[in-house]
Structure formats: structure tokens, C-alpha cells
Structure 1
Amino acid sequence: MEQKVEVIKLKRDLGVFGSFSIGFADVGADIYVALGLVLFFAAGAAPLALAVAATGYIFTALSYAELASAIPMAGGASIFSREAFNDFWGFVAGWGLLLDYTIDIALFGWITMGYLGSFLGNLGTVGVPFVGTLAGLNSINIPGATGTPVYTFQAIGTIALCILLMGLNYIGIRESAKLNVSLSIVSIFSEIALLLIGFILVWNLPTFIHNISQLGSGVSWSDFGWGITVAMVSFIGLESISQAAEETRRPDKTIPRATKALIVAVILAGLLLCTLAVGLPGITPKTLGTTYQNDPVTGVAAGIGMGLNINNPLVILLPLWVGLLGVFMLLMSTNTGVIGASRVTYSMSRYKIMPVWFSKLHPRYRVPTRTIVVFSLASIGFVLFVWIMGTYKLTHEDPTIILGDLYNYGALVSFMLVNLSLIALRNRRPELYRPYKSPWAFDVKVKGRNWIVPILPVLGFIVCLFVWILVLNLHEIGKIVGTLWFIVGIAMYLWYRRGQKLSWKDHIPGTEVTHPDIAHELHPEISVELKDKYKVEKELLVARQAKAAYKNILVPLSRPETIDNIVDIACDIVQQGGILHLVTAIEVPPQLPTEACVLDVRNSTILLAAFEKAKARGVMATAEAVTTRSIADAIIQSAINKECDLILMGSSQRTVTEKVLFGNIVDPVLRNAPCDVAIFSYTSDTEPISYNRILVPTTGYLHATRALSIALDIEKKFRGSVTSIYVGKEEEKEHAEAILEKVNMMADGTGVEHSAVFLTGNIVNSIVSAAKDGSYDLIIIGATERPTYYKQLLGSTADEIVKRAPCNVLVVRTKK
């Protein structure tokens, strides 16, 4: 029985503060983890390491603000990369985020236990019975026989927390978002109170200057590099707002506001807390990074207490409250990791970047429950992995550092792709509605085309690349496990796409959400206004697509009987004011010097006849004869020298016995030409004819679009008709009709009679039969450039049509 498609959409529940809370729950909590790691490596220079990482955070966060408000869909970096590039890069970005979110659940769950253990231990010291026995949830509190921590109790607590949050998220976004909002309010005011108490009552400027000046002496540059890599942990969760974009009310307004607020809040909280830690006179940065590695903010509170009178109640209350605050903050971040992983996987599976099994929504709770369960279990697997590594001393890195390494690895790959995606989409989709734009950009002209280069995304990419290279060079376990994660993921992706009979990189046709035809649906609240805007942009796009814009066409000539037809076609498609470069190549045998051959009567006659034909058509032309060892090389070099846009060549139809190849001249040109190539394959009838009926097989891709544009240009002059034909399976009919509708739009306004037809059956047989039954004069078919492993064929469909067509064929190969 055919399975019915469920139309269940994610709920739009989140306002500005809800969106901010999801981000702050993740990013704001990062400093509770990263502070101990940064102090462990960079010691007094920790604020400088955080500042370097913060630059990358600001640039990348602004990229997220632009992209997420323009494309408010669950998926974040994955959907951005997919729209900017292709499905493969969409998978890479999404798979990196899945590593990030899976590790987020494990890492922040682990540190939650660290703060909870310290909190309960401190309660025990002030006389609360029984709870002190749970201090072992923080592994540093229970050293083993050799003095090293025992990780078992902390691992058990982390796994229990993962299971609890998996159940919470199973029942839907509304419940988990409310938790984030409540805890954000408490944590923000608590952090403000801690900073005010610390700076006003205890912080010491000389101590701060002494500690921070250790860079290059007490802190090596290598350790500072380590500090920068782990400092990036402080800012990684900025993806969270975009992940919840599909559940956000008016994302075009909400997301930029929430992101800007998040930037300010996180930068201030992180840098101020780190500055406070380095300026405490009663505790050293190194102590905070070792003794308090699993609960560093509790260590800061304890350091503040060391600077107060022993009878001051804050000495006891601050560590207690901060320990509880740390539990709340890290609980939020762990919860956000579950949300993020489920949303990324849901988005990827919708576009068959991952198995569609993941995209099923629960009919009652309307959340992707399968992804929640799978990746929560994966995070438990990582907890068990670091427990084994730490318990059996398989590495010198403790569990917190290993998880931090992996947290960085995947997120930085995604961040780099986000910044590149913004640059690509600014140029690929300039018409896209962008309620917010990352500031500052400049134009640069490359090969005659203007490119917009946004400055901040470029800087964001450079900073993220720099930190990622540091991770690869400094973090042994992170480098190995992170690389294996991507290798396994890419292998799974390629296997899945092959099983689905899909291209490993191309989009499934009709699924580009930023295409002008459907981009207005991204913002349902203003879709009517956007639809009108995109209609104008679409008309301009169609106008650009419908013009081949061939200004310089190279026409190699060899046979007198083909001159009329091939020059006619060249004149029909050359841009007004363009030039035909007529050339005949004289091949010189290796036994003779090249100067031994001269222009003979035959070649002279060919050139003159072609030149006069072009002149009679009112087209400018040049004529040249060249001597060469290789005719194909001479054609390619002439195209380069004359900066040609198109090479138009003639070739007779071939049979199977002729090795299914066009010929030893045409093939090398097809493979190595610097521009588009059109092969005019003629039948035995070489008399001049009028192309009154042209058949154009289409798929909607660039090469097929270019073939149609050439057909329209020809028929503008012959006043004939063009028929576009899409051949496929019956189940492709809906998709085919969408393609043919776009094809009709291209023909509208050209003055050419155009029709579009969908046929089922074998592609080659259907096209050949249609050409014969309809008495067509010419078939124009597009074909992409093919690599050498395709046995140097232009492509099986195009080649078969060339061999079997009842009329002349023009094959247009569009260079990628």
C-alpha cells in the first residue's frame, strides 16, 4: 500500500526573548565550561585568548543573523550551504553541526555533573546531611589511589541526565523553550550580581596586569594557541537561534534582534567573567584551571570569598549559589543540544541529504522524535568513550578536554561554510529578501563579472579557519575522532544517495527554497508583497537566461558542402555586434616543417565562401588559415587567443562501428575547450534548409536552458516554432510540469511560437520518434562536460540522438 505523506509542520512559538533564550542557553553557558579549559592552558593570558575567539564569534554571528532571517528554516548551516552550493556541502555543514550538538549534550551534561557535585559537596560542608556523599558527581572531588580522578560516578550522572532531557524534548518545543526562558532570566541576573560583587569588593588591577603579562614568558605561545582553540568553545552555540528559526514568530524581525542581543550578552559575560578570574588575588588562574576545571565559575566564587572577611555570609553563599546557577545554565545548554540535533537532522532528511526516516514528526507532539532519540543515544556513546579513555589512561587528555576538542572540530567546519554561504548567496541570489545584512561590502570585477564581497564574512571565515588549523595541529584525539566522524558520515551520505539514485551533489529539482519562484513562501506573513517583488526579479532572471550572449564565435571549417548551414547557425546565434572567427586548420605531417604547408585553393575557397556568407547576413567576420600538427589543438588555441564564447563545429553522424565517438578532432575540443562548444551534426542532406521546426529536449538545468535559448534565437529569424520536450517516468510528471512551466516563461515575450510536452518512455527513443513524427528540421540538445572516466564520450543520451536522429542535430556542451 502506498504510504500517505503527512503534512505536519513545526510550531511557531518563539518570540524575541524565546529565541534569545535558546541562544543564551547554549552560548551563555559555554563560558561555564570554557573558562576552566582556557585558564588551564592560557593561565593569565586567558582574556586575550577569549578576545581572539570572540572576533570570529562576532563576524560569524552576524552572518547567521543575515542568513537565518532570510532563510528561516530548521537546519541552519546545512540549509544555508545547500542553497549556496549543493547537497554535498549541505551535508558536510549539517554533519559538522550534528557532531557539535551531539558533543554538546555529552560535554555540557558532563560539566553539569561537575557543578552539581561541587554544589552538593558545599552543602555538605555547611551541615546539610547526606548530600555531601554525592560530591563524587564531580570526578575531581574523588581522586583514586594514584591521585587521578575517578570518572565513573560523573559518567553515570551524565547518562541519566541525557535520558531525562531526551524525554523532555520528546513532548515538544514549547515545553523546552519555556524552561530556557525561565532559566535565562535567573542566570542573567545572577551573573550580573556575581560580577558586581567580584569587581567592587575583591578584584585587583595589579594582580590582573601581572597575570595577563605572562604571555610569552610564563605562558608559552603553544599553550596560548591551545587556549585560543578551547576559548572558541565559549562561543560555539550561536547556531541555536537559526536552528529554531522555523519555530520563530516573524523571524525576519525576531532573529536579527535576538542575535544582536546575544552577541552583546555573551561577549560581556564571557570577557568580564574571565577578566574577573584573572584579577582575583586569592586564587591563581592555574588553580582555577586545574582544581576547578569541572566547575570553574564555582572556583571564581570561591576566589571572591578568599578576598572577603571570613565572617561575611557571601563566603558560603556565593559558591553555593554559583554552583546551583552553573547547574541551571549547563542544563539549558544540554537541553539546547538535544533541540539542535533534532532540528538539523529533520531538515537534512527533508531534502534526502539523510534518510527520510528521520523527518517523521510525531502526530501528537509534532517534533522529530526519532532524531531526538538517535542523537541523544549517540551522545551517551561519547560519554562512554571518554569514560573509557580516562578510566584506562588511554590518553593524557582528560574527558573534558577530549569533548571540548570534538565540540570545536565540527562547529568550526560549519561556521566556515556559513560565512562562505553568505558570500555565495549575496552573488547567486541577490534578489533574496534580506531583512538584515551583515555590514560593509565591496565590489570586485573578476573575468568581466562583478562580485559582491561582504567584509565581515570573509574575516569570519579566516578566523574560524585559523582556529580550526590550530585544532588539527594541537588536539590529538579531537583530530582523529573528528576526522573519522566526517569520513564515516560522507561514506554514509554517498551510499544513501546512490541507493536513492540521486546525484551525490546536485539538488533534487524543485527543492531550492531560495529560488525566486518559491522564495516568498519563506516568509508567510509578507508572502504577497514578496511574491510581487520576486516576480519582477524573476522576469529579469529569465531575460538573462534566455540570452546566450555569444559575442565571439569560433567557426572551424573543413567541408565546403557544410558551409551554408554552419555559418547560418552561427549568424543566427551570435550577439548583435558580435564577430564570427572563421578558421581553417591545415594539418602538417611530422615529416615536414610547419612552414612547408601553405594555403591551398580548397581551403582558400572555403574561407572566402564562409566570409561572403557572413557578410551577406550582415555579421562581422574574420578569416584565418593556420598550419598545425594537431587540428584540435589549433582550434582550442584559437578560441583562447580570440577570447571566444563559443566554438561551433560540424560533424557527420556516426555509427556504432565508428566507436560511438564524434571524431578524433571533435572529442579533444569537447574535453579541453575554454568555452561552450556546439556540435552541428548533419544528415546526408547538406543543402541549405530553413529551420522552421526545432525540437529541444529539456531537464531544466543550465545546459538544457542554453539549448533552448539558442533555439529561440534561431527561430526569431526563421519565424518558426520551438517545442520543448521532457521525457521521464509517470511519477515525474508533477516535477516535469514545473520545469516545463519555467521553460514556457523563458519563451514568453520572445515572439517565437513555443509549446511544451511531457512524454513517458525511453529518453532516446521518445526524442527520436518525436523528431520523426513531427517532421522537425533540427534537434538542439544540451549536454554537460564529461570527465575522462566517461570514456571521453559527450554523454550517452546526446550521442545516441546524434547517431539516430532523422534530422540535423546541434549539441551544446556548456562548460562548467
Structure 2
Amino acid sequence: MEHEGEKVELSRGLSLVHLMMMGMGMMIGAGVFVATGIAIGFAGPGGILVAFALNGLIAFFSAMSFAELASALPTAGGAYTYIDEAFKGIVGFISGWMNWFALTVAGSLYAITFATYTVFLIEDTPWFINLGLESELVIKLLALAIALVFIVINYIGVSETGNIENLITLGQMGTLAFIGLFSIYYIVIHPEKLSHFSNFVPNGWEKVLMAMGFTYVGFEGYEVIAHAGEEAFEPKETVPKAILYSVAAVTATYLLFAFAAIVGAEPGGMSVSEWFAMHGPVGMGEAISDLMPYGGLLITLAAIFSSTSALNATIYSSTRVLFAISRDGRLPRIFSRIHRVRRVPHYALFASSLIVLTVALIFPIEDVAASADIVFLLIFLLVNAAVIKIRNERGDELNYGFLMPYFPYIPLLAIVFQAILSLWVFHVSPTAWAITLLWIVAGLVIYRGYEGAKVEAEKPESEVVFEEAGEEARYRIMVAVSNQKNAEILTKYAGKIAERINGELLIVSVVTVPEQTPLEEARQFADEAVQTIRLAKSYAPSGVKTEGIVYYAHSVYRGILSAVRDQKADLLILGWEGRSRWSKYVLGSNLDKIVENAPCNVLVIKPGDTEKLEKIGSILFPTRGGKQGAASAELVSILADVYGTRVTVLSVNVENEPEEKLRERLKPVVEKIKGAELKIVDGDPVQAILQECRVHDLVVMGATREPLFRRLIFGEVPERVASRCPRTVMLVKINRGIRARINRLLGRRVE
């Protein structure tokens, strides 16, 4: 669906830090909390450290392949897209089919991890003992319950969880790093604990290979960074960096954490490996409990938060992969349908959820972990093969932001190691290999049924660069409209300003879909936004260059900030409904974040009870002076010229300053507005301004920039006045760069 005459953009709202949080949040899950203890049981204390170090190296090799492909093909889709781009046909389909299965099985593993550690936390409490229930039964029921919770969350389409997810990831990394660093302190006090490493690899080096294959699930997850290529700032640079940095950080954290568990264990008369084999999935929890006070509680909470975060991410990712395969015509089209209200691929979500619940209910945790390991190893093997094929066949035509060194030896080494590890997992769980083979066979049968049915997915427009038409760059005024109700008011004010200063007008509307839905699918919900933009453009002055742009985003906040950055806007105009929460007119609860973070000047307009756009008889400009006041005065001067009206500069003398001193401070402000009258009054500033505004048609107020800790954007007085004033109010925030941000963070007032 094309929207003729209006540009379409995908929002780019993810920084390097955001991308790293995504990757590390996915990697730190069941692999470290469950699989590590089991692996120590057969590989020994030294074996697990060697396994983690080598796995980190292999993951780093594969990460370079992902980084290279992501820099050359920065589109949503990840492994499935890269393999399909290289091999097409049946290999491309099977990679997507396996990727979908791997993500759903990983989701089952995370649900079981949550349940296992929850039971570990409560199983010794009197009330749990009195229930008389088998721990295994409770684990299964809890796994199903937590999976259902996140299935519902994904169906509802909750998308504003980015900051929470980042905090959880930082908490995970911080907790594991703290435990690891504490173990170093502990070993200084108790050097005898180093004897736990005396039998370094008790069961032979082949067990180390088993441990590598079995714990590899802990190193998958960074590939989700590549899925976000279309939403990242400068993806050719940030995506490769985020992939490589996240793998390095997680590998170091795993090594520290495994070391802590080994020195913390109290095996008694057993060997360390026998002790971990006895405790199985909760061996890590038991070891950390022995290592430090409240260690059991700390590691249990970390495991619970990690598993739930990863469970949510895998349900989301598996849904998107199935959606993509269906959209390509390789599976029934029903899985690419999007719910008209929730805007999520609900049939794909249902199918993914069914596998998550079934696997969590039927299979033991060892088999679930091993199945995920096998499939991820095979997928990464194919990605490494894909990077070789694409570089050799298309290297000259692609624009790479990152090229791995020592090509093709690094991906070849990764292919060899991943093939060996996937085969070696058979020794851990033959059942897992049987399940994997059955799934691949089922995929081949399905592919035969849909062979040749692939339909190329319609791609969204690539990034559009603003064209200058040959003249000098003009001042760019961006108007964010969300509905036809506010389109006229905002555009007419913006148009008057643009006409007066010979500027350009950009009309922007954001179409949002939940995180679970690929951005390009927002196009099917964009008709209303396009109509709103066209209506807004009809209110723009005929002599002003005006352009309409639709942005697809996962939140209005991201979309607007992407538009401001992409289009290099000088002034952003937003609407406010005038209630205590920013809502409906443009941005809902996101408005505070947009005003605070926009890298340009911002004008928020609250229309009055009787809006008179064509006839404004007088303007009231309350100000305390200062740089913000002087900068805001320039806008007041423009409005006064446009409407040919008088201006009253109002100052409330709240500190009983001498009038001459006050007039001197306000002189730079008054001089910027031709013919302005200065009026000084005493009393409460809010009440004084509200009393005066009744005899004016328009009120313009600059930000006083209260400290961040006050949770105010413009300041207490402007926000209270704007909320209660019956006239049209304009709130102006002048962009003052990084210094203003630092001052605000430190709680300093900026005038």
C-alpha cells in the first residue's frame, strides 16, 4: 500500500546502549542459571571454565558474521533474513523453520527456569511443606502459568517496557558481576578453596565438548540486535559494535560467575563435580548460598528476573519469525494476519505459544535445554556459511559498515566448531536430537506443500533524504499531528510563523504498532494518518513549502524524536489537551519525554476555550527575564508581527526586588519586541498571570526549567498557568544543548 504524495519513514530510536541491553538481556537467561550447574556435574570445575571461554570465542566468531551481515543488510529479520538472502529456496525456509522452533523451545526453557528457582526459594518454607505437593508438579504448573502471563502481555501489545528491560538487564549483569567479584575477595580469605580445582577435568576432555554444546544456549541472544537494524541509529556502526560488545561482556560475566559457584560449593566428602551432579538444575543456587550471606535469595531473584525477561523476548521474537515466514508465502497466510485492534500477529503468537506450553509441560529441563542448543548451533552454522557466500557473490555491490578480519577463516572455524558441538550434544540428550530431526523432517514436508508459493514481501520505502530545491537551507518547523481535531490549530499557527520567517513546514504523523509487530506492517494502519496529514497541509499558507511525512514506530516518543533528528527540524510544535496528563492530541503519556529530549526548540500549544486563529488582539508574555526569556521573546516578536497586535510583558515581583533592578533585567526581553509594554505586579505568580490573561487572546511562556527531580518540564508556574488559563497558551522550550541537561540533572535552575 503506497501513500502517494506523503513520505514514509521507519523510526530509528535505538542507540548503542539500547542494542547492547537487548543482546545481553537475551543471553543472560537459563543458560547460566540451569545449564551451568548441570554441566559442572559432568565436565568438572575446570571443564566449565574452559567451556565458557571457548564458547565465548566461538560466539565471538559468529558475532562477527552477524555484525558484518547486519552492517551490510540493516533490516529486520536477523538470521532467517541473512540465510534466505544467501541460499534462498529450501535452505532459507528450513533456517526460518528451525529459528522459530529454537526460539519457542528457549521460551519453554526460560519458563521452566523461572519455576525451578521459584520452587528453590520457597520449598523449605513451612507453608509450602504443608501443601504436600510434589516439587516437580509445582514446577510444571508455575512454568505454564508464567508462560501464559507473557503470552497475554504479548497479545495485549505492551510496548513501553524499554527502560524496565534495560534496568532488568543491568540488574542481571550487576548481580552476576557482584557475585563473581565477591568470590575473588572470598578466595583471598579462604585460599584453601582453590583445591576445588585440583581435579580440573575429572571426566575427560570429551566432557568439556559436551559442556560447551549444552551451555551454548547461554550465548545465543545477541542475534536479536540484528533484528533491530531498521530501528537503530546509524545501524552500520552501532549494530556491529553492540553485537561484539555484548558477547564480550557476557562471556566475562559467565566466567566470573562460574568461578564463584565452584569456590562457593561445600561438597563435603564428595568431589565438586559429584556435588553439582547431585543438585542438578539448582546447583548454582546451592553453591551461591554457601558462598555468601543471602546468596541463595540473591541468585534466585536474579534467575527469576532473567528468565522472565528472556521469556518475554523469545515469545516476541518467535512470533515475528513465524510472521515473516508466513508473509513470504512459505507457510499459510493466516500466520501473517495482524489483529485490527491489538495490531499484533495474533495467529503467529498463538502457534508459538502452543509450542512453548507443550514443551514446558512434557519434557524434562535437560532435554529442553539440549534441544535449544542443537537448533541454535545449526542456525549459527548456516549464518556463518551465509556470510561467506554473500561476501563472495555480492561483496562489490553491498555497502559494508563492518568487515571481519581474517575472512573466510573465522566463519569457517565457527562452522567446524558448531558442527562438532551440535553432534556432541547427542551424548547429553539423545531425545533432543530426535526432536530436532523430527522438526526438520516436518519442515521439509510442509515446504513441499508450499514450494514455489513464496511471494516477495513488499518493502517499506527506504530512508528519504529531504531535498532542498536548490536554495539555502530554511528554518524547518515540524508539526506533529495525531488527529484531524488538532491538525487545523497546530498547522495554522506553524504556517503563520513559517510564512513570516520564510521557513519550511514539515507535517508529521506517527503510526505505532506494538514491539511484537514488525514496523513495516504499520503501513496497513496508516490511512488515517495520511488523511490527517493531507488535511493539515490544506491549512498551510500557499506560499510556504510544506511536506507530509508518515513515520512507523513502536512508540510515539521514538517516532517523533526520529523525525526531528532525520529531518533536522529547528522547531517542533506539539499540541496539548490541557489536562494533568499529556494525552490524545499528539503523544499521550510520552509528551514529557519528547519535550525533554528533543534536540531542537519546542513549542507546545494548548488551544483556548474560544480559539481565534485569525484575530489575536493582544499577547501576554509573562517572564522573569534571563536567557530563556530573551530567546522566547523572539517568537513573541514574530507572532506580534504576524497578527499586528500589541504585547504586554508581565513580570511578577515575587522577591520584592527594587523596580529599577527588575526593569534593567527585563530590558533585553522588552527590546526584542517592538512596542511592547512592561507591566510589573506583586503577589502569587500563578494567580497574577491568570488574572492578567483574561484580557488577552494569547499567552506565551518560556520554560523556567525546574530541576529534574521535580519531574517538571517547563517549570511549576508555566505548567499550572497553562492548565488553568482559558486562553490559548504557548509553552516554549529553547534547546540549549548538553549544558542545560547537566544543570538539570544536578538540580540547578536554568533561567
- TM-score, scaled to structure 1: 0.52
Cα deviation, residue 68, structure 1: 2.3
User: Is this contact kept in 2: 1:74–1:245, CA < 8 A?
Assistant: yes
Match of 2:370 in 1: 405
In the other structure, the counterpart of 2:244 is 260
Is 1:169–1:176's contact at 8 Å kept on the other side of the alignment? no
The equivalent of 1:20 in structure 2 is: 20
Equivalents in 2 of 1:237, 1:135: separation in Å?
38
Aligned equivalent of 1:476: 430
The 2-side partners of 1:304 and 1:134 are apart by 30
Which moves more between the two structures, 362-371 or 259-268? 362-371
Shift, 1:341, TM fit: 0.2
User: Which of 450, 454, 476 is matched with 1:496 structurally?
Assistant: 450
- CA displacement, residues 725-755 of structure 1 (integer Å, 9 cap, x when unaligned): xxxxxxxxxxxxxxxxxxxxxxxxxxxxxxx
Do the aligned partners of residues 331 and 63 (structure 1) sit closer, same or farther apart at CA in structure 2, a change above 3 Å counting?
same
Residue number in structure 2 paired with 1:416: 381
Residue 113 of structure 2 is matched in structure 1 by 111
8 Å Cα contact 2:213/2:374 also seen in 1: no
Structure 2: gaps of 5 or more residues: 468-751
Q: 1:192, 1:86 → 2: CA distance?
A: 42
Matched residue, 1:41: 42
5+ unaligned residues in a row in structure 1: which ranges? 137-141, 143-149, 306-313, 387-398, 442-452, 529-816
Shift of 1:250: 4.0
Q: CA deviation at 1:134?
A: 8.0
Q: What does residue 812 of structure 1 align with?
A: none
Structure 1 segment 529-608 matched on structure 2, within 5 A: none
Give the whole-Å Cα distance in 1 for the aligned partners of 2:361 and 2:12: 36
- Does structure 1 retain, via aligned residues, the 8 Å contact 2:67–2:239? yes
Provide the C-alpha distance between the structure 1 equivalents of 2:21 and 2:104, rounded to a whole number of angstroms.
20
- Deviation at residue 151 of structure 1 after TM alignment: 2.2
Q: Does 2:182 match 1:233?
A: no
Q: 1:173 to 1:430 in 2, by over 3 A?
A: farther
User: Within 2, Cα distance between the matches of 1:435 and 1:296?
Assistant: 45
SS of residue matched to 1:23: helix
- Give the structure 1 partner of residue 145 of structure 2: 160
Could you tell me whether the CA contact under 8 Å between 1:280 and 1:303 is conserved in 2?
yes
Q: Deviations over 1:489-519 (max 9, x none)?
A: 121122122xxx54xxxx75x6698xxxx9x
- Is 2:354 aligned against 1:377? yes
Q: Call closer, same or farther: CA 1:50–1:117 in 2, change over 3 Å.
A: same
1:406-805 matches, within 5 Å, as 406-441=371-406, 453-472=407-426, 475-497=429-451, 501-502=452-453, 524=463
Structure 2 distance, partners of 1:25, 1:135, is 36
Deviations 1:454-508 (A, max 9, x none): 33212211111111121246531011111001100121122122xxx54xxxx75
Percent sequence identity over matched residues? 22
1:172, 1:98 → 2: CA distance? 20
- Counterpart of 1:15 in structure 2: which amino acid? S
1:67, distance to aligned residue in structure 2 (A): 1.5
Give 1:752's aligned residue. none
Give the structure 1 partner of residue 713 of structure 2: none
CA distance in 2, matches of 1:135, 1:69: 56
Q: Please tell me whether the aligned partners of residues 264 and 288 of structure 2 are also in contact (alpha carbons under 8 angstroms).
A: no
For 1:769, the equivalent position in structure 2 comes to: none
The whole-number CA distance in structure 2 between the counterparts of 1:151 and 1:476 is 22
Aligned residue in 2 for 1:50:
52
SS of structure 2 residue aligned to 1:160: helix
Higher CA-based Rg: 1
Q: Deviations over 1:232-274 (max 9, x none)?
A: 1221223222234344444333322321221122111111111
Residue type of the partner of 1:214?
A: F
- Judging changes above 3 Å, is the alpha-carbon distance between structure 1 residues 17 and 152 closer, same or farther for their aligned structure 2 residues? same
Corresponding position of 2:227: 243
Q: Is the 8 A contact 2:157 2:344 kept in 1?
A: yes
1:155-191 CA-partner distances (Å, limit 9, x unpaired): 1110111110011122336235444212112222222
**Residue identity in the other structure for 1:404:** A
| In 2, Cα distance between equivalents of 1:133 and 1:263 | 44
**How far apart, CA to CA, are the structure 2 residues paired with 1:88 and 1:24?**
32
Q: Distance in 1 between matches of 2:253 and 2:326?
A: 36
State how far apart, in whole Å, the 2-side matches of 1:413 and 1:220 are.
Answer: 25
Give secondary structure in 2 for the equivalent of 1:175. coil
- Following superposition, the deviation at residue 325 of structure 1 comes to 1.4
Aligned to 2:204: 220
Counterpart-to-counterpart distance in 2, 1:91 and 1:406: 19
Contact between 1:73 and 1:243, CA under 8 Å: does it hold in 2? yes
Cα pair 1:277 1:285 within 8 Å, conserved: no
Q: How far is 1:333 from its partner?
A: 1.2
Q: Tell me the distance in 1 between the aligned counterparts of 2:420 and 2:198.
A: 23
Tell me if the contact between 2:214 and 2:428 (Cα under 8 Å) persists in the aligned partners: no
Q: How far did 1:71 drift?
A: 2.1
In 2, the alpha carbon distance for the partners of 1:474 and 1:195 equals: 27
**Aligned match of 1:356:** 333
2: CA distance between counterparts of 1:107 and 1:65? 27
Return the alpha-carbon distance in structure 1 between the equivalents of residues 354 and 225 of structure 2.
23
Contact 1:105 1:337 in 2 (8 A): yes
Q: Which of the numbers 301, 304, 309 marks the counterpart of 1:332?
A: 309
Q: What is the Cα deviation at residue 41 of structure 1?
A: 1.7
263, 278, 281: which one aligns with 1:279: 263
* Contact 1:66/1:438 (8 A) holds in 2: yes
Verify: 1:301 aligned to 2:288, yes or no: yes
Question: Contact 2:183–2:260 at 8 Å: present in 1 too?
Answer: yes
> 278-287 or 63-72: which moved more?
278-287
Q: CA 1:227–1:135 in 2, change beyond 3 Å: closer, same or farther?
A: farther
Aligned position for 2:33: 32
Would the alpha carbon gap of residues 132 and 253 (structure 1) be closer, same or farther in structure 2, given more than 3 Å must change?
farther
Compute the displacement of 1:424 (Å): 0.8
Cα separation, 2, equivalents of 1:433 and 1:365: 37
Q: Distance in 1 between matches of 2:131 and 2:167?
A: 26
TM-fit CA distance, 1:301: 1.5
Per-residue displacement from partner, 1:339-381 (whole Å, max 9, x unpaired)?
Answer: 1101211222222232232222334443323222210111111
Matched positions, count? 458
Deviations 1:614-659 (A, max 9, x none): xxxxxxxxxxxxxxxxxxxxxxxxxxxxxxxxxxxxxxxxxxxxxx
Q: Does 1:99 align with 2:101?
A: yes
Distance in 2 (CA, whole Å) between partners of 1:242 and 1:25 is 14
What is the DSSP-based 3-state SS (H/G/I as helix, E as strand, rest coil) of the residue aligned with 2:281? coil
The amino acid that maps onto 2:375 is G
CA distance in 2, matches of 1:377, 1:232: 25
Larger RCO: 1 or 2 (CA < 8 Å, sep 6+)? 2
Q: Distance in 2 between matches of 1:433 and 1:296?
A: 48
Tell me the residue number matched to 1:194: 179
Contact kept in structure 1, 2:265 and 2:272, CA below 8 Å: no
Q: Quote the Cα distance in structure 1 between the aligned partners of 2:194 and 2:95.
A: 40
In 2, Cα distance between the equivalents of 1:419 and 1:64? 8
**1:56 counterpart letter in structure 2:** I
Amino acid at match of 2:445: A
1:322 aligns with 2:308: no
Alpha carbons of structure 1 residues 272 and 180: separation in structure 2 relative to 1, 3 Å: same
